[in-house]
Chains A and B, each alone.
Chain A
């Protein structure tokens, strides 16, 4: 086709008369639609999300896994931080250890209003994985709910058991997420490595419970790689054996969302066996979802699907891609009036049970989680991602929406129409110069 014919083609399309039977189809569709408008009100996606306690739990489970294993990225050896390097070396000698954690969360998406408190005991084994016993306190009723979580990297799965409801959730890890987990080996070790990769200050000596300790503190945003928000992380280590004694984490995601976490009561080099990490699920407990829940993928394609999905629902790109902001965007979807959002709400409306609603909701959230996790992986892998969601319109094939470095002088670009290309640094500079200021 010769491209100069485009005007002619458009005029020909415009000259097409509408066949009589097409007018009839339009009338029929219009009349059928009108007949369906008998019930006032409509179902709102967000309402389903907020009302379903199964959804809350499953969403929380997924969020915890993400935070535990993606939010604590692998950081290679650094030259700085000699003292912390000693701490790390000492911690890495421990094959298994146990510690306690108190967490307070405010304004988290899909959680009850008020402060949500969680107290947990965490057992970590290099060989077998991680087990977490949690008491979650409902801020409204004050009721405690016990939950257990097992993260078993070498089985590629995690379990969340909810005894009160006689339910359990089995989550399968994708290969890329698992690869990250294997690098990370759980918790304090990674936190130490991460602090070592950040700007931190030495707080000097102090005493905690009669133990002489030395402190390290960071407020470097790099600690929050790809998650968004401000952080203050303080770690106190025993000056005698260079093992962590106490840690405090204060994260302010935005005006509404805050999280405080205290880690304490460490016991090092405890004996563990494989049976300690075997989930105990009574026979009368049922799986939820029945077929298990796959963790979101972290690939470029999955991220593109996430972007496409959000545009369909909201007709615009998310302003930011960090997980915290994306989680907030999920909240906003309840106000979306697009046809796609309405279609989703209709799907939820057709669900026959609360569990089915939760299953469908998790499916809805998966592409959004994939997008956030992909972006987080780019930040963690130091691929210099830059995102222009605030200025790029959906469908704009000439505007760079997201780009990241693939090698020296080479970048990968996702454009506003969600097509992709590999470009040189010079080409990227030219493309970025055309973006609206």
Chain B
């Protein structure tokens, strides 16, 4: 594809999806520094896969880009040992929130980025984007039962991992 054409599609996609990416990535990161990094990775992903954002299934692919960007940003944050670098974790807290609630939310976000791709996508669409199973099934190219199964497996994985961590 010619650069000018690639740039044209990118500009269109950027205008269309920046707000969506902000919404998904903010919920997945909950932290401005992490969010900014994930946003940069997402834009890079859009540029690299621009051909796929010019078709009918662009809305499906943008989730994949967002999740991949989120995972990369989290991996950079989590570090080699799989532990959060506390001194770098400037996570957002409202004064009224209890500390443990914030910490649990951080753990949940961290664990979402470690889920298998389909499970992560299913859980994000279902709980963070509050979409119905039909939309999830369409996005994952599976049946509604399959979508439920992905959500169920993701919840089970998150439960067991969080139980082990807390």
Give A residues with C-beta under 8 Å from B. Answer: 1, 3-4, 6-7, 9-14, 16, 18-19, 21-23, 25-27, 29-30, 33-34, 37, 40-41, 305, 308, 312, 315, 337-340, 342-343, 393-398, 416-417, 419
Contacts and interface: CB of A to CB of B under 8 A. Distances in A.
Nearest to B41: A339
A261 B38 CA distance: 50
A304 B22 CA distance: 32
Interface residues of B, number: 56
A13 B30 contact: yes
Contacts, number: 125
Contact of B39 (A1, A29, A41, A340): A29
Nearest to B47: A37
A47 B18 CA distance: 32
A1 B166 contact: yes
B100 A1 contact: yes
A340 B14 CA distance: 20
Contacts of B160: 3
Given A25-B36, A26-B35, 15 more contacts: A1-B166, A3-B163, A7-B155, A10-B108, A11-B127, A13-B30, A14-B128, A14-B130, A22-B26, A26-B39, A27-B18, A29-B39, A30-B18, A41-B3, A305-B80
Contacts of B25: 26
Contacts of A398: 157
B149 interface: no
Interface stretch (B54-62, B113-121, B132-140): B113-121
Contacts of B128: 10, 13-14
B26 A18 contact: yes
B22 A18 contact: yes
A341 to B, nearest CB: 9
A167 B157 CA distance: 54
A389 B162 CA distance: 26
Nearest 9 interchain pairs by C-beta = A40-B3, A26-B22, A10-B127, A337-B48, A1-B166, A339-B41, A3-B159, A14-B128, A33-B43
Contacts of A342: 44, 48
A14 B129 contact: yes
Mostly, the B contact residues are: helix
Contact of B21 (A26, A41, A312, A339): A26
A397 to B, nearest CB: 7
A340 B35 CA distance: 16
Nearest to A396: B116
Nearest to A301: B80
A340 to B, nearest CB: 6
B75 to A, nearest CB: 7
Contacts of B41: 339
A6 B158 contact: yes
Nearest to B69: A339
Contacts of A338: 45, 48, 68, 72
Given A337-B49, A395-B116, A3 B162 contact: yes
B43 A30 contact: yes
B105 to A, nearest CB: 6
Contacts of A26: 18-19, 21-22, 25, 35, 39
A26 B39 CA distance: 7
Nearest to B159: A3
B142 interface: no
Contact of A1 (B27, B45, B162): B162
